[in-house]
Amino acid sequence: MDGLPVLDLNKSTMHMRIAPRLRWLLALVFALHALLGANLGLSVDEAHYALYAAHPALSYFDHPPLVGWLQWPLVGFGAPTALLRLLPGLMWLGTVLMVYRLTLRIAEAPDTMQTQRAGFWAVLVLLVAPLLHILGVGLLPDTLLMFWSVALMLQTLRLMERAQAERLSQWLLLGLLLGLAGLSKYTAIFTAAAVALCLLSAHGSALLRKPGLWLAVLLALALVSPVAIWNAQNHWVSFLYQAKHGAGSSWQGLNLLRFLLVQLLAFGPLLLWGWAGVRSVASTERVLFAFFAIPFLVLAYLSGGGSSLPHWTAPAWVALAPFAGIGLARGWYAGKRFAIGALMLLQALACVALPAIMISAGMPFLEGKTASAESTDAPNPFADLHGWDDAGARAKLLAAQQGLAAVAVQNWTLASRIGWYARPLKVHVLEDRFDQFDLWAGKLAVGGSALLVDWSQLPYETPLGAHGFAQCSKLDHLEVLRFGYAVSSFDFYSCSGWSGDPRPRLRPAASTK
């Protein structure tokens, strides 16, 4: 295509070093992430993925394997939680630095100072996005995918240039990044679609005649092949689960509106300046907006069926950050300082308040809030981060004393923390559903025995009779305190004579402890 514009990727802005004040700011936030991570227990998802590393496999029931593979050396050497959490901190830092670099490449400013300002604002808008700090502390598949998404944006922009598209090494790098993204999360398929759209817009049908493209595709497929092999060996359970999970239930507009509101609160309205940035860049770079639009629109639609979680869109918002930086830099010097400054302050306060509440477990404001079959109050979400290490240690001790080889819980969300902190004890989920714990430990055998663990924030009736155990004896009660306030509690039972027919029931409010 003779009329195709050639991108100038060798601007002087490419050689700018990040400003010292920005380096110090990033170092400070990284240190705060590390400090927060050292003082919080693993969340339900973090513990689940840490267990991936304790059970190395080609893939897993609910996600591809990279989130486990990356932790495997640390888990194998018994690294403490503080060290495990340096990994997401480094991924977060790398993501932010790549966003800065990407912003410098696509900013269309008349001088280098304005370009640097756009990069500064792109970083700043990420620093005041509350949910992104959670992904900088806890290693989730989304933490990895945000990193690979920005890396793919950079590589795609490079391959949109004719000269770079003739270099085989650049295509192989693209295939490597696509494969790593695919090993991180299934929604990487949306990022791959954005890559394809951008390259087609730059090269047209000539793209399909480039050998490098097909080598990149083959390399990406080879890298993600462990996922397909594992699924073929396990009756395609992961693909079937994801298809069912993505379909959700009946579509409702109210679910979509709720999703959009949560997104605004979780990531902050400042990122919406990305639309102004998109309109101000050259048409060649504007197509990179697809890295935000494709995943966000798909996930927003899925939210109508109730099957989209807030952090799933994190890679999309990070992809919008370079455009938001450009839009904010222009808006700031166009007289919109009050609006931008006010929102910046509100989001910064939210970023400070969130970890403070997490460390305190919401005390004293959320004290005593528990779940039950009759209660309309939501449980304290921050109690989830405290006490599981002590509960795991107590479970190991009690199981050894009682001669029990396994732990049992009545909800799958309780299994990962006990499974992590009480390892190597097996964990059986006494619930009529199939999940990763069934692959690791199987169902508790009829007539079997286990140490039953009950948690006050999700309390179940002790399972006895036709749909439970023949007998259960309470062994111990553990109170979890934070700054002198009761956060939650654990009850431990020695149970035997399992019926094999689980029907867990939440404990009525009147008997909730």
**In sequence order, what DSSP letters do the residues of 139-178 get, joined into one string?**
--HHHHHHHHHHHHHHHHHHHTSHHHHT-HHHHHHHHHHH
Outline where 304-408 has alpha helix (H). Answer: 314-332, 337-360, 388-402
Flag whether pLDDT at 13 surpasses 80.
Answer: no
C-alpha to C-alpha distance for 152 and 194, rounded to whole angstroms:
10
Q: By three-state DSSP, how is residue 496 classified?
A: strand
pLDDT in tens, 108-121: 655 677 888 899 99
CA 1 to chain centre: 40
Flag whether pLDDT at 14 surpasses 50.
Answer: no
Among 190, 180, 152, CA closest to 69? 180
Outline where 268-313 has alpha helix (H). Answer: 274-280, 283-286, 290-303
Q: 166 phi and psi, to 5 degrees?
A: -90, -5
- What local confidence, expressed as pLDDT, does residue 373 receive? 41
Q: Which residue did the predictor score with more confidence, 15 or 340?
A: 340
- What local confidence, expressed as pLDDT, does residue 398 receive? 97
Flag whether pLDDT at 16 surpasses 60.
Answer: no
Integer angstrom CA distances of residue 171 from 36, 37, 140, 214: 39, 37, 28, 9
**Cα dihedral 123, 127, 130, 132 sign:** positive
C-alpha to C-alpha distance for 109 and 116, rounded to whole angstroms:
9
Integer angstrom CA distances of residue 494 from 209, 343, 365, 459: 66, 53, 34, 17
- What local confidence, expressed as pLDDT, does residue 369 receive? 54
> Out of 117-126, 140-149, 291-300, 301-310, which region has the weakest mean confidence (pLDDT)?
301-310
Model pTM? 0.91
Q: By three-state DSSP, how is residue 290 classified?
A: helix
- What local confidence, expressed as pLDDT, does residue 17 receive? 72
5 — pLDDT class (breaks 50, 70, 90): very low
pLDDT in tens, 158-207: 999 999 999 999 999 999 999 999 999 999 999 999 999 999 999 999 99
247 — pLDDT class (breaks 50, 70, 90): low
Flag whether pLDDT at 135 surpasses 70.
Answer: yes
114 Cβ contact partners less than 8 Å away, ≥ 6 residues apart = 107, 329
What are 192's two structure tokens?
């791959």
**Cα dihedral 494, 497, 501, 507 sign:** negative
Integer angstrom CA distances of residue 495 from 70, 420, 474: 37, 21, 9
pLDDT in tens, 359-378: 988 777 766 555 444 444 55
Residue type at position 101 = R
Residue type at position 423 = R
Question: Taking a C-beta distance cutoff of 8 angstroms, is the pair 59, 230 a contact?
Answer: yes
417 — pLDDT class (breaks 50, 70, 90): very high
What are 229's two structure tokens?
């092999």
Task: List the domain boundaries for the chain.
Answer: 12-357, 383-511
CA 19 to chain centre: 29
Q: What value does the mean pLDDT of the chain take?
A: 90
